[in-house]
Structure 1
Amino acid sequence: MPTAPGPFGAARWCRDLAMGARFAVTGGHPGWIRTTLTALGVGLGVAVLLFAAAVPNVMNASLGRDRARGTVPAAAGTGPGDHTLLITSVSTTYHGADVGGRALQAEGPHAPVPPGLRRLPRPGEMAVSPALAELLSSPDGALLKDRFPHRRITARIGATGLAHPGELRFYEGTDALRGPSENVERITGFGEWGTPFESGPLVVLAIVVGCVALLAPVAVFIATAVRFGGDRRDRRLAALRLVGADRATTRRVAAGEALAGALLGLLTGTVLFLAVRVPLSDVTVAGIGVFPTDVVPGAPLAAFIAVAVPLCAVAVTLATMRRVTVEPLGVTRTAPPPRRRLWWRLLLPCAGVALLLPQAIGGLRPGDAAMTQLILGTSFLLLGVAALLPWALDAAVARLGRSGRGGQSWQLAVRRLQLTGAAAVRSVSGITVAVAGAIAVQLLLTGAGGVEPPAETDPYTRWTEVDARDGALPAARTHEFHDRLAAADGVRPGPVLTVAYAGPAGLPHGAGAEAADDPEPYPLTLADCAALRRLARIGSCADGDVFRTEDPDAEAPRPGQRLALEPATARADHRRPATWTVPSGARRVEARDALPPWLPFPRLLVTPGALDGDLLRHHSVMVLVRLDPHRPDAIEHLRNAAAHVDPRIAVLSYGTSGDDGVLDITRRALTAGAVAVLLLIGCGLLITTLEQLHERSRLLSALHALGTPRAVLGRSILWQTALPVAVGLGLAVACGLPLGLLFLHMVGRPPEPEWWDILTLTGTAGTVILGVTALSLPLLWRLMRPAGLRTE
């Protein structure tokens, strides 16, 4: 029974909310259906919000473990000691996956041990991560196993030494390191606490926009879920009015029903979150994975979700009930809805543009205030799309209704949308917001990649570089190294370049050399005439010739100048460097425009007859090779051949950069998130469709009894779902493209729309429509039985 009239206060609110909650759980079969649908819909949204709230903890935990295995270098001038360790990177790549590795050599009995290991591996031993151990023991890892022919796996790296469960990582013991150099470091411990890595503004913008685009539909979805079963609830509220309850009481009772569903949804979402996070350790996407123990939402964010979701349910219900007049004999919901106004719906997108326009004109700015402005502007724009959808759907349905065209199923669908278009709008608004945001992010990321020069403009994009740095390969073994690479399957070696630096002779050397005001050292390239012709226009050439290139930014060494073949800043001891005099016949030549990307500008080009390569103590050997395109594993054979000479030798492919890798990971993560949100919204569409079918069960039975074919009703369900989604997708494309262009203007990138990506997103939404329709047909057939006309 409703509460007796009395003074307004918190006690009355609590009593009315409690009454609504009792109606939600004791309303018989129909009440339980509505409450279950609400709890499931809210639970799906809450699970997504909890995962989003756990992202900061996941990133902090992964970053913490990664920094814990960072190195603490020994003080400058420190020699070997009981607590020092020599370490160098021996990372590699296998079938596109990064395999991180380090070679370790203890210099004392108390040398530091990396996180995740109990002891250092001895020479010939390896400690590997569980994922790498599984790969090496499988047939897919046969080529990778050949890269470590004389090493035994003696330990597994623990979780404290891994960024995520699927990381491919190893440590190997060695006794071949000869003190600190460019690639070898002497350390005293592990645990780096420096400045954390910060992504560029383009990556930050993509992540911020992606998060807003993925979470805004979830908020819309939760607001939609708490309104399931509105028609049956209104009839129950009319009965309360008949026995004496006032309108304010009915609104509070309705809010209590929604609150009960929201609280059950919180519980359902928490259970889904806890159940799904456990299998996450077995999933690795784009090289990213998580430990289940890391997937924990922060306490403030979890508390905010726990409070915001019930408040959202109550607020949405109270706002909805203000538009419904509940009378003792019925409700006015079935009356024609009032004409929707357009002017106020344009306020949200206009506010978003006003917030984003300063950064679009002046460029993307750093700082918390600018980032808050960016988040608010993007949110207003995307939510403005949802606000425009009801007006656009009403306009489209009104025009279609006046045309009178189409078959029976089309007319049934259009008439149903005219009467209950609001429910369709609530269900589709999430898809509209998600697709609009995804289009903007895809346009941003595609435009970022579109500024790279085409492969045909750079002759070195077809080459692969094998680089042995800082003495990893003695000059005397260069020809042997070239022959070993040539023997690899599918590999054709090209020119061999030995790169070093030379400085003016007579400068201080040794421990105090770093303090001297040294001039910039000269890059020196040692190679035969055929290789030098790729770097400069040298004309005639014979062994023993020397060439000086023209560099507008730096002066080339003069003929007759005496050079030290080891710059002062590279000297780690007091050894006197070898010297060499530039021949008086050194000719000045012009360098070519296209040079290998990792090659310093060659100011000195020297043939072997003019300089003995053994005099170069700090040098790198670069070999450019071509791979057989018909042998996809050619690059793996190349890496194996290089690793057999020295694990520190790197194999590099041109045309890639770190930013591209981060952007690619960002693109994949956001695409996966967009697909997950579309599936979530598809579940909401399905729940909404099933709820509406239950509401119209008597009408469906009557239509079937009057001879309406099942196929006609099935097609009408399809049109009722497809028409709002089609309008929403058109609105999403119309709003997502300008938003993406605005983001590109912020970062100064030209627009490069990838229409295939846009079609993929819209096609995914269309697939969701077909799936919802197909899954709702069994219930439709069951509700069309004549037994549905029975009443009590």
Structure 2
Amino acid sequence: MNPVQLALRVMRVDPRSRLSAMLTAAGVAVATALVLFLATLPNATDERSERAGWQRGTVDPSGALAVASRDVFGNETIIRLDVSGDRIAGAPRLPGPGEVLLSPRLAELAAQHPRQELADRFPGRVVGELDETALKFPEQLVAVVGHPPGTLDPVAAEESGWVAMGTTDFLLKFMAGIGIVLLSVPSLVLVASAARLTAARRERRLAALRLAGATPAQVVGAVAAETAVAAVAGTVLGLLLSWPLRYVGAEISWGGGTWLPSDFTPPVTTVLAVAVAIPLLVVLAAVLGLRRVVQAPVGAVMSHSRKAPTAWRLLALVAAAAFFAFGLATAQRTGGLTPLLASLAVVLLSASIVGPWLTGAMGRLFAAVWRRPATLLAGRRLHSDPRAAYRSVSGIVLTVFVGSMALTLLPSFETFTGGGRSFKDSVLYLDVPGKQAAAAQQRISDQLARTGAHATVANAGRVTLDVVDGASYPAMVLSCPDAAAVTRMAVGLCAGPPAIRADPAMQLPSSGLQVQAAARGDQAVPPPVPLPAGVLVRPLGGQDPELRDSVLIDPALVPQLAGAGQTTLVVNPATEADREKVRTALSLALPGQTFISRELRLEEQQTVLADLRRITAIGLGLAALLAGSSAAITAASSVVDRRRTLGALIAAGTPVAMLRRALRTEAALPALISTLASGAGGIAVGAAMFTLFLDLGENPRLVISGWIFAPVVIGVAVAVLAASSSGPMLRRISTEAISDE
């Protein structure tokens, strides 16, 4: 009888082996589906990027031009392309002069709102809608406005660049890599737990085969065949489950919108790699667990105690920490994620190496100190078989690690939000060359008048104020009334002669000051303008801490700099009701220009934070479900493995209620200590990984909140609840006749 026939015969005649194989196959199916889905995420982001690749400013060799810009309606970003010519490589059909193409979602919004708030921003006749294959995601807001040839500026087209791209694509690839590592491990723990359901019986059966004359190769072949049947069946089922799973994944919003199901179509090489790797890993794990049977079959039959873990295992933590430091340094230096993800996997593996030693040490302590029966029984169990005791909570420990790491990173990411110069939140602004500022300001004012929208329009020159002692401060050339209308600075009363207004902490002198206009591109820097001696310096009162070292210079003090350097056009709508009308007026006055606003600044930040919260909640939910399932199966298998011992205790008069308390204590003690340790490790790893994102914010800082203890509390609770699942099995043992299996 070959090994496969033997495996099938065992599963046919032994209900427990059959149940174990079914649970193993289910665990492998879950692991396969999750790993394959996560492995397709980098490919899905590439598909998105390819679809949106045409949404950029470009000068095509055929003479076609596209000027890309961004706008906002409500809290949604609009990608606008002003185009001329016949065709741009990779782009859909371009509209002709006076024609407009809108994405389906933008066309819907334009029909639902007054024209002066949205539709009028795109002058021309709407001749069609963009297909979803031309959009980054189905809900994306895109407008393509046609212009006559020769009316668009090629320089503006080149400078407008990529407007549909963002940091979320890199972030998703990074999160996908972490997800593969962090969700694969609990999945494999679930598979191992299912395989351990009948481990003791199988070990005795295989040991009997060895004692009967079977060679080690024959025993290994029997186990490999028995495991391979379940692993292959589970892998096939997982591959089939991955097909409907992509439709579920397509509905998960990321980067502002959902996906196309076709985005999650994995490459053939990825499918083959997953289909081969997962069964091999499962079979390899089962074979490696046979060392005891192969080397000492008599010990396996007699259930002799194994050698206790030693403190040398703590060196695994040192090695994992060193490898993680190397991976982190590599990611910071080169941006490569592979060493970092590999080191993260090693950190998780080190927990399974150190965990049994920690469990055994805790068992020795409780067995020596505690005298309550249930705790004493639990302590003896932890001391005698720390590997099996830790196995029941290993999945939970990994989940707590992931949760603590996530709850360290998320509050810290929220410190990235904000920014936006010194203007009020309601302001819209655009940087332009100083020589174009007056004409652009006039066009904006005229268009506002035609639209009937009310707003303050100001011209803020960007300069540097140099002090005689060598210090320099960025400053704005802006009149006092305009500053009061568009900035957050407390300018006070505007009456009196022209003056400099500055943060009082700067203690500016009234002499030896000169103003230097900001240079633009390769233009020559205009000479500095000295201010008259004794110029009036007034303090800015009640300053926002973010506006320290702010300086305002009255335009009357530096008339020579009018039209020089770089200038910011600032528009502040009179009321919130005027806001969308003002945006429409700006789109008509300066088409193809992106006016920065609070909504535009915060849109990507808020989108990224929402995406991180969503994907973290989904990932932790899946990890907790997998960990809880593996803990419940392990708790039940622990009772099955100790049927004789527990039956003997019951026969000797031990109350079943006391045994139930001992089982719960046996689960709670290692869970408490191990989750505390893994929680601390998750915080440390999260804090270290936070350093990769320091360049994304203006004032990033690490935030440690009280919520980081939530994973520990939840982990212990899940472990105790999972241990309760062994109650029915324990009651069944108590009603059985006391006999050897």
TM-score normalised over the length of structure 1? 0.70
What's the offset of the Cα at 1:275? Answer: 2.6
Matched, 1:148 2:118: yes
CA distance in 2, matches of 1:569, 1:522: 21
State how many pairs are aligned. Answer: 701
Name the counterpart of 2:15: 29
C-alpha contact (below 8 Å) 2:412/2:700 kept by paired residues: yes
1:565-588 CA distances to partner (integer Å, 9 max, x unpaired)?
Answer: x989799xxxxxxxxx99999958
| Structure 1 residues 483 and 155, CA gap change in structure 2 (3 angstroms) | closer
Matched, 1:606 2:555: yes
Name the counterpart of 2:400: 435
Name the counterpart of 1:422: 387
Matched, 1:686 2:632: yes
| Structure 1 residues 54 and 698, CA gap change in structure 2 (3 angstroms) | same
CA distance in 1, matches of 2:346, 2:558: 70
Higher helix share: 2
User: Which letter maps to 1:465?
Assistant: V
User: Which letter maps to 2:426?
Assistant: T
Matched, 1:170 2:142: yes
User: Which letter maps to 1:268?
Assistant: L
CA distance in 2, matches of 1:155, 1:101: 17
1:190-232 CA distances to partner (integer Å, 9 max, x unpaired)?
Answer: 99799x9779999998876665444444455545544442022
CA distance in 1, matches of 2:618, 2:463: 51
1:329-383 CA distances to partner (integer Å, 9 max, x unpaired)?
Answer: 893473333221121x123222223334568789932165xx5544444333332
C-alpha contact (below 8 Å) 2:26/2:234 kept by paired residues: yes
CA distance in 2, matches of 1:481, 1:651: 23
| Structure 1 residues 432 and 621, CA gap change in structure 2 (3 angstroms) | same
C-alpha contact (below 8 Å) 2:489/2:544 kept by paired residues: no
CA distance in 2, matches of 1:177, 1:618: 29
Name the counterpart of 1:44: 30
Name the counterpart of 2:229: 260
| Structure 1 residues 206 and 62, CA gap change in structure 2 (3 angstroms) | closer
Matched, 1:364 2:332: yes
Name the counterpart of 1:578: none
User: Which letter maps to 2:583?
Assistant: A
| Structure 1 residues 200 and 481, CA gap change in structure 2 (3 angstroms) | same
CA distance in 1, matches of 2:692, 2:97: 53
**Of 466, 481, 485, the match for 1:528:** 481
Matched, 1:347 2:306: no
| Structure 1 residues 683 and 642, CA gap change in structure 2 (3 angstroms) | farther
C-alpha contact (below 8 Å) 1:382/1:433 kept by paired residues: yes
The 10-residue stretch of structure 1 (676-685 or 381-390) with the greater mean CA deviation from structure 2: 676-685
User: Which letter maps to 1:168?
Assistant: Q
| Structure 1 residues 213 and 618, CA gap change in structure 2 (3 angstroms) | same
CA distance in 2, matches of 1:726, 1:222: 24
Unaligned runs of 5+ in 1: 2-14, 76-81, 487-494, 504-520, 572-580, 628-633
Q: Tell me the SS of whatever aligns to 2:515.
A: coil
Q: Tell me the SS of whatever aligns to 1:338.
A: coil
The 10-residue stretch of structure 1 (202-211 or 269-278) with the greater mean CA deviation from structure 2: 202-211
CA distance in 2, matches of 1:555, 1:292: 61
Matched, 1:56 2:4: no
Name the counterpart of 2:344: 378
C-alpha contact (below 8 Å) 1:100/1:170 kept by paired residues: yes
Q: Tell me the SS of whatever aligns to 2:102.
A: strand
Matched, 1:92 2:72: yes
CA distance in 1, matches of 2:660, 2:515: 81
User: Which letter maps to 2:49?
Assistant: L
CA distance in 1, matches of 2:578, 2:426: 10
Unaligned runs of 5+ in 2: 433-439, 465-473, 503-507, 588-593
Matched, 1:302 2:271: yes
- Spell out the pairing of 1:68-467 with structure 2 (5 A cutoff): 68-73=54-59, 84=64, 87-92=67-72, 94-95=74-75, 98-102=76-80, 104=82, 107=84, 110=86, 112=88, 115=91, 120=95, 127-129=102-104, 147-148=117-118, 155-165=128-138, 167-171=139-143, 173=145, 179-180=151-152, 185-186=156-157, 212-241=181-210, 243-285=212-254, 287=256, 289-324=258-293, 331-332=300-301, 334-343=303-312, 345-357=313-325, 364-366=332-334, 368=336, 371-406=337-372, 408=374, 410=375, 413-414=378-379, 417=382, 421-440=386-405, 442-444=407-409, 446-447=411-412, 463-467=425-429
Matched, 1:556 2:528: no
Identity %: 22
C-alpha contact (below 8 Å) 1:41/1:265 kept by paired residues: yes
C-alpha contact (below 8 Å) 1:722/1:769 kept by paired residues: yes
1:498-535 CA distances to partner (integer Å, 9 max, x unpaired)?
Answer: 235799xxxxxxxxxxxxxxxxx997546637639969
- Spell out the pairing of 1:488-499 with structure 2 (5 A cutoff): 497-499=458-460
| Structure 1 residues 199 and 54, CA gap change in structure 2 (3 angstroms) | closer
TM-score normalised over the length of structure 2? 0.74
| Structure 1 residues 268 and 763, CA gap change in structure 2 (3 angstroms) | farther
C-alpha contact (below 8 Å) 1:498/1:526 kept by paired residues: no
C-alpha contact (below 8 Å) 1:685/1:772 kept by paired residues: yes
User: Which letter maps to 1:148?
Assistant: L
